[in-house]
Amino acid sequence: MLYHKEHLKTLDEQSIGEAYILLSKIGSKFFSYADKWAIFEPVYATVPDHWHRVASDLDDSAQDYQQILKTPRMIVDNKKGTIARANPGEETPLPSSNTQ
């Protein structure tokens, strides 16, 4: 979770960019065990008018895996060092993140 000094309904592009960079750095360390992990768009966020992003591994045995497939996301590949965009309905099911 990232915290801003005050409650804002919109953020400037620099703040959003910095948040994504910070999420990427933290996620790469926290999910270093996984081949791939993702930063999700706030499609299912329960608090309206908040900039909200969630990072998670892409474990196909997770309880919310079907929701993962329905959520637009940026997928970070730890092995290749690449970032790709995934949109619902455009991809085949994700491979388990725990495969070595």
User: Do 91 and 71 form a contact (C-beta atoms < 8 A)?
Assistant: no
* Sign of the CA dihedral running 95, 36, 71, 85: negative
Query: Which 3 state secondary structure label does DSSP give 79?
Result: coil
Task: Quote the pLDDT of residue 10.
Answer: 75
Q: Is residue 1 scored above 60 in pLDDT?
A: no
User: Do 28 and 76 form a contact (C-beta atoms < 8 A)?
Assistant: yes
Entry pTM: 0.75
100 is written with which tokens? Answer: 């070595």
pLDDT tens column, 39-89: 998 887 777 667 778 888 988 898 888 888 889 999 999 999 899 999 887
